[in-house]
Amino acid sequence: MRLVFAGTPEVALPALDALAESDHELVAVVTRPDAAVGRSKKLIPTPVAQRAEELGIEVLRPGHPRDPEFVARLTELAPDCCPVVAYGAILPAHVLEIPTHGWVNLHFSLLPRWRGAAPVQRAIMAGDAETGACVFDIVPELDAGDVYAELRTPIEPTDTAGDLLDRLAQSGGALLARVMDDLEAGTAVGTPQPEDGVTIAPKLTVAEAEVDWSADDAEIDRRIRGCTPAPGAWTTFRGERFKIHAAHPVGGARLDPGAIATSKQWLQVGTGSRPLELDLVQPFGKKAMRAADWARGVTFEAGERFGA
């Protein structure tokens, strides 16, 4: 089949690579426009645009997929199907109708649970025991189309959103390529999603990533892992933002929420239940470092705590 791939961030690269190595003809990619980065505001191509250029594939960067020039070029390319991974824009109905087999999305959840922009992050924060990836037919309603294929994986107790996305991106890329094979062979069967069990996974905000130390240790642990690497869990210390990249629940004496206990080897913080030991932290204006190393360089005042 003639394919036009749509994707933007790094998590879309395994699928792009799988399709480029398949027997299908990858004639172009669609991605978000170059973005201004850093103080210099230099325009940087998306990871998908960079990989497509390495592969010698035409790159389309519409400001919006309804742009007439983009629609005309896509029509001219005459794709049989447009596989999608994290493209980042809503596709209008008249654009969905251009490919013979439509637009087919790789989504990182077990639909209909966690439709939306942050399914992996929300699954970890909710304490789900497993998640997965679905390949489904894109329809105008959010992530509601028929599902062609899915894979399942347990959520490990130490998984961050980044860990889980990396795993799902690799296995999901192969799944998406297999669905392209099935569509070409005429053997793909789309299964309607059940009406029960629908949940929505909106993009995480920075405000949601703030740690509430009065919550229990398991809930805080899930929030930190669900917000890692982005937007990044945080609290405050002496009025400044203090990022927490990794932590784990521990036993030991109970501490008041946010209260700090240290030794030469560890830094623990009180929660609504058991203490949480911080592993990797990033004080304001500094690089990430081991929590115990940071704590050895601080003279704590009596009663001082995080988030106060």
Q: What is the DSSP string of 5-71?
A: EEE-SGGGHHHHHHHHTSSSEEEEEE-PPPEEETTTTEEE--HHHHHHHHHT-EEE--SSTT-HHHH
- State mean pLDDT over 70-91: 97
Looking at the chain, the whole-number percentage of residues with pLDDT higher than 70 is 100
> Is 278 within any annotated ligand binding site?
no
Which residue do the tokens 């990182």 mark?
108
**What is the rounded CA–CA span in Å between residue 22 and residue 93?**
28
Whether the per-residue pLDDT at 39 is higher than 80: the answer is no
Question: Is pLDDT above 90 for 4?
Answer: yes
CA distance 14 to 176: 10
Give the list of residues 6+ apart from residue 268 with CB closer than 8 angstroms, or none: 250, 252, 255, 260, 261, 262, 275, 276, 277, 278
Residue 160 has a pLDDT of 97
In this predicted structure, the answer to whether residue 38 has a pLDDT above a threshold of 80 is: no
What local confidence, expressed as pLDDT, does residue 282 receive?
97
**In one letter, which amino acid is 11?**
V
Q: Rounded distance, CA 226 to CA 61, Å?
A: 30
Model confidence at 65: pLDDT above 90: yes
pLDDT (0 to 100) of residue 251:
80
19 known ligand binder: no
Is the pLDDT assigned to residue 261 strictly greater than 80? yes
* Res 252: pLDDT: 76
308 pLDDT higher than 90 = no
Torsion, Cα of 23, 150, 118, 89 (10° steps) = 40
Q: Using alpha carbons, select from 160, 141, 15 the residue that is nearest to residue 85.
A: 15
Q: What is the pLDDT of residue 247?
A: 96
Share of the chain above pLDDT 90, in %: 95
* Report field, pTM of the whole predicted structure over 0.85: yes
112 annotated to a ligand binding site: yes
Q: Is 56 left (phi over 0), alpha (psi -120 to 50) or beta?
A: left
Tell whether 110 is in a known binding site: yes
pLDDT digits over 199-257, tens only? 999 999 999 999 999 999 999 999 999 999 999 999 999 999 999 999 999 987 889 99
pLDDT at 87 over 90: yes
Task: Give tens-digit pLDDT for 112-130.
Answer: 999 999 999 999 999 999 9
Average pLDDT over residues 174-185: 98
Q: How far apart are CA 31 and CA 37, in angstroms?
A: 17
What pLDDT, on a 0 to 100 scale, did the predictor assign at position 30? 98
Tokens 């879309």 label which residue?
12
Mean pLDDT score of the chain: 96
Q: Averaged over 264-290, what is the pLDDT?
A: 96
Statement: residue 146 has pLDDT above 80: yes
Res. 45 pLDDT band, cuts 50 70 90: very high
> Contact at 8 Å (CB) between 175 and 151?
yes
**85: pLDDT confidence band, cut at 50, 70 and 90?**
very high
